[in-house]
């Protein structure tokens, strides 16, 4: 018979898996309590960093439809449940891991799809959403300027041709 505290823990983890836009698995072996506190702070309000028993986390992952995460739930594993922008959480983990070699990103999941450790690193290397939107807006503005120039070109050419013809007639007269 399952213990009520473990059933509650699995239900809570399952809800976190389902409500998160991304889940990032890390190994925290060798980090002190102070370092873990700093890591939680660096993740911000858009992510919840939780240490859970691997067996309970594996059961919750299966119930949430993320069976592929169960194979990485070995050793001391902590999960970052991201409710906001996954790029920001991946960057926070990457930056923290640079200063603290004990933190290792194992894998993750985003929108129900598996992410390898390399994919999480690539996610961290992406520019922020605002920067990408600004670049897209700049590219669209450039194309709009090109289109406006192309639409004005025939009229401008016609005016220049008429001016040249007028000057030629004035010289001939």
Look up the pTM and report it. Answer: 0.70
| DSSP for 128-153, written as a single string | PHHHHHHHHHHHHHHHHHHHHHHHHH
Note the pLDDT of residue 73. Answer: 86
Give me the half-sphere count of Cα atoms (radius 13 Å) on the Cβ side of residue 44: 13
Give the tokens for residue 55. Answer: 């067996």
Q: What does residue 81 show for φ and ψ, rounded to 5 degrees?
A: -90, 115
In this prediction, residues 99-107 reach a mean pLDDT of 86
Tell whether the model's pLDDT for residue 129 goes beyond 80: no
Q: What is the total residue count of the chain?
A: 173
Q: Is the pLDDT of residue 1 over 70?
A: no
Average of per-residue pLDDT across 40-55: 87
pLDDT value, residue 104: 87
pLDDT tens column, 63-77: 888 888 888 888 888
pLDDT digits (tens, 9 = 90+) for 150-165: 887 788 888 888 888 8
Residue 6 CB neighbours (<10 A): 13
């Amino acid at each position: 018979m399952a213990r009520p505290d473990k059933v509650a823990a699995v239900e809570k983890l399952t809800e976190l898996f389902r409500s998160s836009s991304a889940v990032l698995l890390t190994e925290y072996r060798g980090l002190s309590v102070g370092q873990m506190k700093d890591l939680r702070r660096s993740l911000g309000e858009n992510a919840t960093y939780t240490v859970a028993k691997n067996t309970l986390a594996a059961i919750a992952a299966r119930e949430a439809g993320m069976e592929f995460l169960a194979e990485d739930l070995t050793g001391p594993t902590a999960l970052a449940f991201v409710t906001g922008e996954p790029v920001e959480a991946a960057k926070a983990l990457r930056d923290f891991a640079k200063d603290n070699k004990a933190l290792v990103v194992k894998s993750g999941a985003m929108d129900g799809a598996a992410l390898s450790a390399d994919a999480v690193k690539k996610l961290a290397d992406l520019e922020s959403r605002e920067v990408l939107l600004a670049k897209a807006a700049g590219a669209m503005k450039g194309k709009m300027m090109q289109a406006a120039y192309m639409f004005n070109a025939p009229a401008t050419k016609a005016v220049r041709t008429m001016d040249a013809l007028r000057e030629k007639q004035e010289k001939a007269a």
